[in-house]
Amino acid sequence: MAIAVEDRGMKMDIMKEVMRMAKEVDEELMPLLNVGSHEKLRLAINHLPHSGGKRLRPSMAIVVAEAVGKKGKTAVPFGCALEIIHNFTLVHDDIIDEDLTRRGRPTVHAQFDTPTAIMAGDALFAIGFKTLAETKVDGGRLRQLLKDVSETVFLIAEGEQMDMDFENSSEVTIDAYMEMVEKKTAVLFACAAGGGAIIGKGSKKQIRDMREYGRLLGIGFQIWDDVLGLIGNEKLLGKPVGSDIRNGKRTLIVVHAMQTLGPKGRKKSVKILKALGNEKATDEEVKRVIQLFEDIGSVDHAKNIALKYAEDAKALLKCLKPSKERDFLREIVDFSVGRQL
């Protein structure tokens, strides 16, 4: 899975390259999901992965492995495993949030039913680890990958629990929010990039720096995603804009807004803020909350924080030799953090 740009003087078309790599990942990924004898469960397992997706995590793992040690092909099972596990977390996340659409299609529990969606998520988890075990590296590195992925899944669970707890908390600090984002989102990016470096037989510094690159990218990615969730293009987003408001999600925007307003400001804006966590809030009520957050600078604050994480991630790429792969890893940061609103 080599990067397509041959001339380093050419500007990489990152969107085209992401889609090309996603297609190549899918060629390896989809057959892994066509398993089992129970048709309904098999269809439920395949539903979300077949809804599309940019496959950023497997692509990152593969490209890092290639950049570090020309081991991109070796990293394919590892990358597919991460994507399968990522989809497992999304299936369960949608159940928790009671979201009815993802990637422009019904969520698994909406298409089938909640018990089937839970089983589909569990099955994806099992398939992911089976796929991971098929990564052709020596025993020591395979054990490290298994340990890293297991720890990552545990941290994602902690992050998800924190996210749920925040919805019922009147006070959430920015530090607590950042810890939640790191666990819920960033650790999987860190695992992808760090695992790619392990597979590529990178130095300790390369493994450490690539893991940190993925962590910083993941934090920036999630904060930017929170911004898109409020002011993004609903068709491009694939889910309703403003759903985070109705769900009472404590995003960086919301946490910053609550701190900026303070007790007096919150009391003054109580009629507007009543839509926060109100599933029956009208579109107009949600728009008023978003406008308030824009007016007091919370949306711009989140944008700037996300972009700072992106710049710090790109700075870590100096541990890699100049290559098309390093260019891709740099471009993927700007693609992920700063993508179209």
Question: pLDDT tens for residues 105-157?
Answer: 999 999 999 999 999 999 999 999 999 999 999 999 999 999 999 999 999 99
Q: Is residue 315 part of a domain?
A: yes
- Residue with the two structure tokens 């029956």: 280
Q: Is residue 168 part of a domain?
A: yes
Q: What average pLDDT does range 46-75 have in this prediction?
A: 96
Direct distance between the N- and C-terminal alpha carbons of the chain, in angstroms, rounded to an integer = 30
Identity at 9, one-letter amino acid code: G
Cα separation, 109 vs 104, in Å, equals 14
Within 10 A of 258 (CB to CB), how many other CB atoms are there?
20
The residues, any chain, with a CB within 8 Å of residue 103's CB and separated by 6 or more, are: 48, 51, 52, 53, 238, 239
Q: What average pLDDT does range 205-222 have in this prediction?
A: 98
Cα separation, 81 vs 64, in Å, equals 16
Q: Given a cut of 50, is residue 293 above it in pLDDT?
A: yes
Cα separation, 239 vs 195, in Å, equals 31
Reported as type and span, the H/E element at residue 105 is: strand 105-106
Q: Is residue 8 part of a domain?
A: no
236-248 per-position pLDDT tens digit: 555 566 778 888 8
Q: Is residue 43 part of a domain?
A: yes
Residue range(s) defining the domain that contains residue 242? 14-336
The residues pairing with 105 across neighbouring beta strands, listed in sequence order, are 102
Cα separation, 331 vs 317, in Å, equals 11
SS3 (DSSP) at 157: helix
Q: Given a cut of 50, is residue 74 above it in pLDDT?
A: yes
* Mean pLDDT lowest among 121-130, 177-186, 263-272, 292-301: 263-272
Q: Given a cut of 50, is residue 10 above it in pLDDT?
A: no
39 Cα distance to chain centroid: 29
% of the chain residues with pLDDT over 90 = 78
Cα separation, 17 vs 295, in Å, equals 37
Give which of 170, 131, 148, 156 is closest to 266, Cα–Cα: 170
% of the chain residues with pLDDT over 70 = 93
Cα separation, 252 vs 240, in Å, equals 19
Phi then psi dihedrals of residue 282, to 5 deg: -75, 165
Cα separation, 215 vs 192, in Å, equals 10
Quick one: pLDDT at residue 138?
A: 96
Q: What average pLDDT does range 305-334 have in this prediction?
A: 97
Over the chain, what is the mean pLDDT? 92
Q: Is residue 7 part of a domain?
A: no
- Split at pLDDT 50, 70, 90, the class of 235 is low
181-194 per-position pLDDT tens digit: 999 999 999 999 99
Helix residue ranges per DSSP H, 168-282: 174-181, 187-199, 204-231, 234-237, 243-247, 252-268, 270-273
165-182 per-position pLDDT tens digit: 988 887 899 999 999 999
User: Residues 217, 313: contact at Cβ < 8 Å?
Assistant: yes
Q: Is residue 108 part of a domain?
A: yes
Number of domains in the chain: 1
Q: Is residue 134 part of a domain?
A: yes
- Which tokens is 255 given? 């946490």
Q: What average pLDDT does range 86-92 have in this prediction?
A: 97
- Which tokens is 266 given? 């919150």
Q: Is residue 2 part of a domain?
A: no
CATH code, 71:
1.10.600.10
CA-CA-CA-CA dihedral for 99, 101, 103, 109, to nearest 10 = 80
The residues pairing with 247 across neighbouring beta strands, listed in sequence order, are none
